[in-house]
Structure 1
Amino acid sequence: MLGDDIEIILHDVTDLENSVVAISETNLSGREIGSPVTNLILKMLKEGRAQNKSFITNYEGVAKDGKVLRSSTFFIRNENNEIIGMLCINIDYRKMERVIDYLSKFVGVQKIAEKKTAPTVEHLSPSIEDLAKASIKEIVGGVNIPPERMSQEERLEIIEKLNENGIFLLKGIVSIVAEELCTSEASIYRYLSKVKKVHGSV
Protein backbone atom coordinates (compact mmCIF):
# COMPACT_ATOMS: atom_id res chain seq x y z
CA MET A 1 0.00 0.00 0.00
CA LEU A 2 2.85 2.37 0.81
CA GLY A 3 5.07 1.53 -2.17
CA ASP A 4 8.59 0.20 -2.68
CA ASP A 5 10.41 2.91 -0.73
CA ILE A 6 8.98 2.04 2.70
CA GLU A 7 9.98 -0.88 4.91
CA ILE A 8 7.89 -2.10 7.86
CA ILE A 9 9.35 -4.26 10.64
CA LEU A 10 7.66 -5.90 13.63
CA HIS A 11 9.81 -6.42 16.75
CA ASP A 12 9.30 -8.64 19.80
CA VAL A 13 11.36 -6.99 22.56
CA THR A 14 10.94 -9.93 24.92
CA ASP A 15 13.74 -11.49 22.82
CA LEU A 16 16.28 -8.72 22.18
CA GLU A 17 18.76 -10.93 20.36
CA ASN A 18 16.16 -12.19 17.84
CA SER A 19 13.82 -9.22 17.95
CA VAL A 20 12.65 -9.04 14.32
CA VAL A 21 9.66 -11.37 13.88
CA ALA A 22 8.24 -9.98 10.63
CA ILE A 23 9.48 -7.73 7.83
CA SER A 24 7.90 -6.42 4.63
CA GLU A 25 9.08 -7.59 1.22
CA THR A 26 10.36 -4.05 0.59
CA ASN A 27 13.53 -4.76 2.56
CA LEU A 28 15.55 -1.54 2.69
CA SER A 29 17.73 -2.06 5.77
CA GLY A 30 19.13 -5.49 4.93
CA ARG A 31 17.70 -6.94 8.13
CA GLU A 32 15.89 -10.26 8.32
CA ILE A 33 13.72 -12.29 10.67
CA GLY A 34 15.82 -13.06 13.76
CA SER A 35 17.87 -9.83 13.61
CA PRO A 36 18.41 -8.05 16.97
CA VAL A 37 17.00 -4.75 18.20
CA THR A 38 18.87 -1.57 17.31
CA ASN A 39 21.32 0.52 19.33
CA LEU A 40 18.68 3.23 19.75
CA ILE A 41 16.10 0.87 21.25
CA LEU A 42 18.68 -0.68 23.58
CA LYS A 43 19.64 2.77 24.83
CA MET A 44 16.00 3.77 25.36
CA LEU A 45 15.21 0.56 27.24
CA LYS A 46 18.35 0.93 29.37
CA GLU A 47 17.53 4.52 30.33
CA GLY A 48 13.79 3.92 30.65
CA ARG A 49 13.16 6.73 28.17
CA ALA A 50 10.46 4.74 26.36
CA GLN A 51 8.22 4.37 29.40
CA ASN A 52 6.16 7.49 28.79
CA LYS A 53 6.28 7.42 25.00
CA SER A 54 3.90 5.92 22.47
CA PHE A 55 6.24 6.52 19.54
CA ILE A 56 9.34 8.31 18.26
CA THR A 57 9.29 9.59 14.70
CA ASN A 58 11.42 11.04 11.90
CA TYR A 59 14.93 10.20 13.09
CA GLU A 60 17.89 9.00 11.05
CA GLY A 61 18.44 5.29 10.53
CA VAL A 62 21.50 3.84 8.81
CA ALA A 63 21.44 0.45 7.10
CA LYS A 64 24.47 -1.84 7.07
CA ASP A 65 25.33 -0.72 3.52
CA GLY A 66 25.36 2.93 4.66
CA LYS A 67 21.97 3.81 3.18
CA VAL A 68 20.35 6.60 5.22
CA LEU A 69 16.65 6.13 5.99
CA ARG A 70 14.03 8.19 7.78
CA SER A 71 12.81 6.03 10.64
CA SER A 72 9.90 5.95 13.07
CA THR A 73 9.08 3.51 15.89
CA PHE A 74 5.71 2.84 17.52
CA PHE A 75 5.67 0.99 20.85
CA ILE A 76 3.32 -1.94 21.54
CA ARG A 77 2.41 -2.45 25.22
CA ASN A 78 0.65 -5.10 27.28
CA GLU A 79 -2.07 -4.57 29.89
CA ASN A 80 0.62 -3.59 32.44
CA ASN A 81 1.91 -0.83 30.13
CA GLU A 82 5.13 -2.77 29.54
CA ILE A 83 6.70 -2.56 26.09
CA ILE A 84 6.49 -5.98 24.45
CA GLY A 85 6.88 -5.05 20.81
CA MET A 86 7.51 -2.30 18.28
CA LEU A 87 6.33 -1.45 14.80
CA CYS A 88 9.14 0.28 12.88
CA ILE A 89 8.77 2.12 9.58
CA ASN A 90 11.83 3.03 7.51
CA ILE A 91 11.55 5.29 4.47
CA ASP A 92 14.05 5.72 1.65
CA TYR A 93 13.46 9.40 0.89
CA ARG A 94 16.25 9.87 -1.67
CA LYS A 95 13.87 9.81 -4.66
CA MET A 96 11.78 12.54 -3.04
CA GLU A 97 14.91 14.60 -2.36
CA ARG A 98 15.95 14.32 -6.02
CA VAL A 99 12.49 15.42 -7.18
CA ILE A 100 12.49 18.38 -4.75
CA ASP A 101 16.01 19.34 -5.83
CA TYR A 102 15.00 19.16 -9.51
CA LEU A 103 11.86 21.25 -9.00
CA SER A 104 13.76 23.81 -6.91
CA LYS A 105 16.33 24.28 -9.67
CA PHE A 106 13.64 24.30 -12.36
CA VAL A 107 11.64 27.12 -10.74
CA GLY A 108 14.73 28.88 -9.42
CA VAL A 109 13.95 28.48 -5.71
CA GLN A 110 16.98 28.51 -3.43
CA LYS A 111 17.06 26.35 -0.35
CA ILE A 112 16.25 28.43 2.71
CA ALA A 113 18.13 26.23 5.15
CA GLU A 114 20.30 23.16 4.99
CA LYS A 115 18.94 19.92 6.35
CA LYS A 116 19.64 19.60 10.06
CA THR A 117 21.45 16.55 11.31
CA ALA A 118 19.17 14.26 13.31
CA PRO A 119 20.16 14.13 16.98
CA THR A 120 19.98 10.34 17.12
CA VAL A 121 21.32 7.86 14.56
CA GLU A 122 19.90 4.33 14.64
CA HIS A 123 22.04 1.48 13.33
CA LEU A 124 19.80 -1.06 11.56
CA SER A 125 22.16 -3.98 12.07
CA PRO A 126 21.24 -7.46 10.79
CA SER A 127 23.15 -9.30 13.55
CA ILE A 128 24.37 -8.87 17.12
CA GLU A 129 27.97 -8.85 15.84
CA ASP A 130 27.23 -6.01 13.42
CA LEU A 131 25.41 -4.11 16.16
CA ALA A 132 28.41 -4.45 18.50
CA LYS A 133 30.85 -3.35 15.79
CA ALA A 134 28.73 -0.32 14.86
CA SER A 135 28.33 0.69 18.51
CA ILE A 136 32.06 0.39 19.24
CA LYS A 137 32.95 2.28 16.04
CA GLU A 138 30.56 5.08 16.98
CA ILE A 139 32.05 5.42 20.47
CA VAL A 140 35.68 5.20 19.40
CA GLY A 141 34.87 7.83 16.74
CA GLY A 142 37.87 9.77 15.58
CA VAL A 143 40.28 8.32 18.15
CA ASN A 144 43.11 6.99 16.05
CA ILE A 145 44.12 4.19 18.41
CA PRO A 146 43.88 0.53 17.31
CA PRO A 147 42.08 -1.64 19.95
CA GLU A 148 45.21 -3.74 20.52
CA ARG A 149 47.12 -0.60 21.58
CA MET A 150 44.44 0.83 23.90
CA SER A 151 45.22 1.29 27.57
CA GLN A 152 43.04 -0.21 30.30
CA GLU A 153 41.60 3.24 31.01
CA GLU A 154 40.65 3.70 27.34
CA ARG A 155 38.99 0.28 27.19
CA LEU A 156 37.18 0.97 30.47
CA GLU A 157 35.80 4.22 29.05
CA ILE A 158 34.49 2.39 25.97
CA ILE A 159 32.90 -0.33 28.14
CA GLU A 160 31.24 2.32 30.30
CA LYS A 161 29.72 4.04 27.25
CA LEU A 162 28.62 0.72 25.73
CA ASN A 163 26.93 -0.11 29.03
CA GLU A 164 25.18 3.28 29.09
CA ASN A 165 23.91 2.54 25.59
CA GLY A 166 22.41 -0.78 26.75
CA ILE A 167 24.56 -3.04 24.57
CA PHE A 168 25.10 -5.47 27.46
CA LEU A 169 21.37 -6.15 27.64
CA LEU A 170 22.03 -8.59 24.78
CA LYS A 171 22.97 -12.17 25.60
CA GLY A 172 26.32 -13.32 24.25
CA ILE A 173 27.52 -9.79 23.56
CA VAL A 174 30.53 -9.96 25.91
CA SER A 175 32.50 -12.35 23.70
CA ILE A 176 31.87 -10.17 20.64
CA VAL A 177 32.92 -6.98 22.45
CA ALA A 178 36.03 -8.74 23.79
CA GLU A 179 37.02 -9.79 20.27
CA GLU A 180 36.44 -6.28 18.88
CA LEU A 181 38.52 -4.69 21.65
CA CYS A 182 41.28 -7.33 21.36
CA THR A 183 40.97 -8.46 24.95
CA SER A 184 39.53 -11.38 26.94
CA GLU A 185 35.97 -11.97 28.13
CA ALA A 186 37.31 -11.99 31.70
CA SER A 187 38.70 -8.49 31.17
CA ILE A 188 35.32 -7.26 29.89
CA TYR A 189 33.61 -8.66 32.99
CA ARG A 190 36.22 -6.91 35.18
CA TYR A 191 35.56 -3.60 33.41
CA LEU A 192 31.81 -4.11 33.88
CA SER A 193 32.38 -4.81 37.57
CA LYS A 194 34.24 -1.52 37.91
CA VAL A 195 31.42 0.29 36.13
CA LYS A 196 28.94 -1.34 38.51
CA LYS A 197 30.87 -0.15 41.55
CA VAL A 198 30.90 3.42 40.25
CA HIS A 199 27.30 3.62 39.02
CA GLY A 200 25.62 0.99 41.16
CA SER A 201 24.23 -1.04 38.22
CA VAL A 202 25.24 -2.69 34.96
Structure 2
Amino acid sequence: MPESCHPLLAPFVPLVAMLGEALGPEYEIILHDLTQEGTKIIASTNERLSGRSKDAPLTEFGRFLMTSPEVDGLDYIANYPAEAQNGRQMRSSVLLIRGEARKLVGLLCINYDTTKAKLLLDAASFLTAVRPLSFKGAQVERFEAPEDEAAFVAEARRRMGCPLEYLASDERRECIKYLDERGFFKLKGSIDYLAKEMGKSRFTLYADLRAVRKRGGAE
Protein backbone atom coordinates (compact mmCIF):
# COMPACT_ATOMS: atom_id res chain seq x y z
CA MET A 1 0.00 0.00 0.00
CA PRO A 2 1.47 3.42 -0.91
CA GLU A 3 2.15 5.88 1.88
CA SER A 4 -0.43 8.30 0.51
CA CYS A 5 -2.84 8.36 -2.39
CA HIS A 6 -6.24 9.74 -3.21
CA PRO A 7 -8.87 7.88 -1.11
CA LEU A 8 -10.76 6.78 -4.22
CA LEU A 9 -7.66 4.99 -5.49
CA ALA A 10 -6.90 2.93 -2.38
CA PRO A 11 -9.30 0.06 -3.30
CA PHE A 12 -7.59 -0.25 -6.69
CA VAL A 13 -4.15 -0.96 -5.21
CA PRO A 14 -4.80 -4.65 -4.37
CA LEU A 15 -6.70 -4.97 -7.65
CA VAL A 16 -3.46 -4.24 -9.52
CA ALA A 17 -1.71 -7.21 -7.92
CA MET A 18 -4.73 -9.48 -8.43
CA LEU A 19 -5.04 -8.59 -12.12
CA GLY A 20 -1.34 -9.20 -12.62
CA GLU A 21 -1.65 -12.73 -11.27
CA ALA A 22 -4.98 -13.48 -12.95
CA LEU A 23 -4.05 -12.22 -16.41
CA GLY A 24 -0.47 -13.46 -16.43
CA PRO A 25 3.04 -12.18 -17.22
CA GLU A 26 2.14 -10.69 -20.61
CA TYR A 27 -0.05 -8.05 -18.93
CA GLU A 28 1.34 -4.91 -17.34
CA ILE A 29 -0.96 -3.20 -14.83
CA ILE A 30 -0.25 0.39 -13.78
CA LEU A 31 -2.22 2.60 -11.38
CA HIS A 32 -1.59 6.34 -11.65
CA ASP A 33 -2.56 8.90 -9.02
CA LEU A 34 -3.17 12.14 -10.88
CA THR A 35 -3.73 14.21 -7.74
CA GLN A 36 -0.10 13.98 -6.68
CA GLU A 37 2.20 16.78 -7.77
CA GLY A 38 3.52 15.74 -11.16
CA THR A 39 1.37 12.55 -10.99
CA LYS A 40 2.63 9.32 -9.46
CA ILE A 41 2.54 5.56 -10.08
CA ILE A 42 1.19 4.11 -6.84
CA ALA A 43 0.93 0.45 -7.85
CA SER A 44 2.22 -1.66 -10.72
CA THR A 45 2.88 -5.22 -11.79
CA ASN A 46 4.89 -6.65 -14.70
CA GLU A 47 6.20 -3.16 -15.41
CA ARG A 48 9.24 -4.81 -17.04
CA LEU A 49 7.13 -5.07 -20.20
CA SER A 50 7.39 -1.33 -20.82
CA GLY A 51 10.54 -0.80 -18.77
CA ARG A 52 8.90 1.77 -16.53
CA SER A 53 9.76 2.42 -12.90
CA LYS A 54 7.69 3.91 -10.10
CA ASP A 55 9.02 7.39 -10.88
CA ALA A 56 8.34 7.16 -14.63
CA PRO A 57 6.50 10.19 -16.02
CA LEU A 58 2.96 10.04 -17.35
CA THR A 59 2.78 9.27 -21.05
CA GLU A 60 1.76 11.86 -23.61
CA PHE A 61 -1.57 10.05 -24.00
CA GLY A 62 -2.04 10.15 -20.22
CA ARG A 63 -1.54 13.91 -20.25
CA PHE A 64 -4.07 14.13 -23.09
CA LEU A 65 -6.61 12.27 -20.94
CA MET A 66 -6.05 14.75 -18.11
CA THR A 67 -6.58 17.84 -20.24
CA SER A 68 -8.83 17.05 -23.19
CA PRO A 69 -12.57 17.77 -22.97
CA GLU A 70 -13.08 15.02 -25.58
CA VAL A 71 -12.86 12.36 -22.87
CA ASP A 72 -15.03 14.05 -20.25
CA GLY A 73 -17.93 11.67 -20.90
CA LEU A 74 -15.82 8.50 -20.97
CA ASP A 75 -15.24 6.05 -18.14
CA TYR A 76 -12.78 3.83 -20.01
CA ILE A 77 -11.05 3.31 -23.36
CA ALA A 78 -10.40 -0.29 -24.41
CA ASN A 79 -8.01 -2.04 -26.79
CA TYR A 80 -6.13 0.84 -28.36
CA PRO A 81 -2.61 0.44 -29.83
CA ALA A 82 0.43 1.49 -27.83
CA GLU A 83 4.19 1.05 -28.01
CA ALA A 84 6.67 0.76 -25.16
CA GLN A 85 10.01 2.59 -25.18
CA ASN A 86 11.69 -0.76 -25.76
CA GLY A 87 9.64 -1.32 -28.93
CA ARG A 88 7.10 -3.80 -27.58
CA GLN A 89 3.74 -3.50 -29.30
CA MET A 90 0.90 -3.30 -26.80
CA ARG A 91 -2.86 -3.58 -26.81
CA SER A 92 -3.86 -1.16 -24.08
CA SER A 93 -6.93 -0.23 -22.08
CA VAL A 94 -7.43 2.44 -19.42
CA LEU A 95 -10.04 2.99 -16.73
CA LEU A 96 -10.63 6.68 -16.02
CA ILE A 97 -11.22 6.93 -12.27
CA ARG A 98 -13.25 10.03 -11.47
CA GLY A 99 -14.13 11.84 -8.26
CA GLU A 100 -16.53 14.64 -7.51
CA ALA A 101 -17.87 16.54 -10.52
CA ARG A 102 -16.28 13.79 -12.63
CA LYS A 103 -12.83 15.20 -11.98
CA LEU A 104 -10.18 12.71 -13.12
CA VAL A 105 -8.20 11.45 -10.11
CA GLY A 106 -6.52 8.31 -11.42
CA LEU A 107 -5.85 5.95 -14.31
CA LEU A 108 -5.86 2.16 -14.15
CA CYS A 109 -3.93 1.00 -17.22
CA ILE A 110 -3.81 -2.55 -18.59
CA ASN A 111 -1.21 -3.13 -21.30
CA TYR A 112 -1.00 -6.47 -23.09
CA ASP A 113 2.28 -7.37 -24.81
CA THR A 114 1.22 -8.75 -28.21
CA THR A 115 4.66 -10.18 -29.11
CA LYS A 116 3.88 -13.84 -28.40
CA ALA A 117 0.37 -13.55 -29.83
CA LYS A 118 1.75 -12.22 -33.10
CA LEU A 119 4.27 -15.06 -33.25
CA LEU A 120 1.43 -17.54 -32.76
CA LEU A 121 -0.62 -15.76 -35.42
CA ASP A 122 2.27 -15.92 -37.90
CA ALA A 123 2.80 -19.60 -37.10
CA ALA A 124 -0.91 -20.35 -37.48
CA SER A 125 -1.01 -18.55 -40.84
CA PHE A 126 1.93 -20.63 -42.08
CA LEU A 127 0.66 -23.93 -40.68
CA THR A 128 -2.85 -23.50 -42.13
CA ALA A 129 -1.82 -22.19 -45.56
CA VAL A 130 -2.60 -24.62 -48.42
CA ARG A 131 -2.25 -24.57 -52.19
CA PRO A 132 -5.11 -26.03 -54.23
CA LEU A 133 -4.13 -28.98 -56.43
CA SER A 134 -3.49 -27.82 -59.98
CA PHE A 135 -4.00 -31.22 -61.62
CA LYS A 136 -6.97 -31.46 -63.95
CA GLY A 137 -9.92 -33.11 -62.22
CA ALA A 138 -8.12 -33.32 -58.86
CA GLN A 139 -10.29 -33.00 -55.78
CA VAL A 140 -9.64 -32.62 -52.08
CA GLU A 141 -7.89 -35.71 -50.78
CA ARG A 142 -10.05 -37.44 -48.19
CA PHE A 143 -8.69 -39.87 -45.63
CA GLU A 144 -11.20 -42.53 -44.73
CA ALA A 145 -11.35 -43.72 -41.14
CA PRO A 146 -12.77 -47.10 -40.14
CA GLU A 147 -16.45 -46.76 -39.28
CA ASP A 148 -17.64 -47.81 -35.84
CA GLU A 149 -20.95 -49.29 -34.75
CA ALA A 150 -22.48 -45.87 -34.08
CA ALA A 151 -21.68 -44.60 -37.59
CA PHE A 152 -23.18 -47.70 -39.24
CA VAL A 153 -26.33 -47.57 -37.14
CA ALA A 154 -26.76 -43.81 -37.67
CA GLU A 155 -26.65 -44.37 -41.42
CA ALA A 156 -29.13 -47.27 -41.14
CA ARG A 157 -31.44 -45.07 -39.08
CA ARG A 158 -31.36 -42.37 -41.75
CA ARG A 159 -31.96 -44.97 -44.45
CA MET A 160 -34.95 -46.51 -42.66
CA GLY A 161 -36.36 -43.12 -41.68
CA CYS A 162 -37.11 -43.93 -38.04
CA PRO A 163 -35.55 -45.31 -34.83
CA LEU A 164 -34.61 -48.94 -35.40
CA GLU A 165 -36.69 -50.14 -32.46
CA TYR A 166 -39.85 -49.22 -34.40
CA LEU A 167 -39.11 -51.43 -37.41
CA ALA A 168 -41.51 -54.21 -38.34
CA SER A 169 -39.98 -57.67 -38.79
CA ASP A 170 -39.61 -57.37 -42.58
CA GLU A 171 -38.15 -53.86 -42.21
CA ARG A 172 -35.78 -55.15 -39.54
CA ARG A 173 -34.45 -57.82 -41.90
CA GLU A 174 -34.10 -55.25 -44.66
CA CYS A 175 -32.03 -53.12 -42.28
CA ILE A 176 -29.91 -56.12 -41.25
CA LYS A 177 -29.32 -56.96 -44.91
CA TYR A 178 -28.13 -53.40 -45.54
CA LEU A 179 -25.80 -53.50 -42.52
CA ASP A 180 -24.46 -56.91 -43.50
CA GLU A 181 -23.63 -55.68 -46.99
CA ARG A 182 -21.76 -52.75 -45.45
CA GLY A 183 -19.64 -55.06 -43.28
CA PHE A 184 -21.24 -54.03 -39.98
CA PHE A 185 -21.25 -57.54 -38.52
CA LYS A 186 -17.49 -57.85 -38.94
CA LEU A 187 -17.12 -55.41 -36.06
CA LYS A 188 -16.59 -56.93 -32.63
CA GLY A 189 -19.70 -56.48 -30.48
CA SER A 190 -21.88 -55.41 -33.41
CA ILE A 191 -24.76 -57.80 -32.55
CA ASP A 192 -24.92 -56.57 -28.95
CA TYR A 193 -24.86 -52.94 -30.10
CA LEU A 194 -27.63 -53.51 -32.65
CA ALA A 195 -29.72 -55.50 -30.16
CA LYS A 196 -29.83 -52.46 -27.87
CA GLU A 197 -30.75 -50.19 -30.78
CA MET A 198 -33.55 -52.46 -32.01
CA GLY A 199 -34.80 -53.56 -28.62
CA LYS A 200 -34.46 -57.21 -29.62
CA SER A 201 -32.50 -60.13 -28.24
CA ARG A 202 -29.20 -61.30 -29.69
CA PHE A 203 -30.87 -64.60 -30.63
CA THR A 204 -33.55 -62.80 -32.68
CA LEU A 205 -30.94 -60.82 -34.58
CA TYR A 206 -28.79 -63.89 -35.20
CA ALA A 207 -31.87 -65.64 -36.60
CA ASP A 208 -32.62 -62.63 -38.82
CA LEU A 209 -29.03 -62.52 -40.03
CA ARG A 210 -29.03 -66.23 -40.89
CA ALA A 211 -32.32 -65.80 -42.77
CA VAL A 212 -31.00 -62.80 -44.70
CA ARG A 213 -27.82 -64.61 -45.69
CA LYS A 214 -29.66 -67.78 -46.59
CA ARG A 215 -32.07 -65.86 -48.79
CA GLY A 216 -29.18 -63.99 -50.35
CA GLY A 217 -27.38 -67.24 -51.10
CA ALA A 218 -30.50 -68.69 -52.69
CA GLU A 219 -30.73 -65.69 -54.96
Taking structure 1 as the reference length, the TM-score comes to 0.50
Structure having the higher Rg: 2
Taking structure 2 as the reference length, the TM-score comes to 0.46
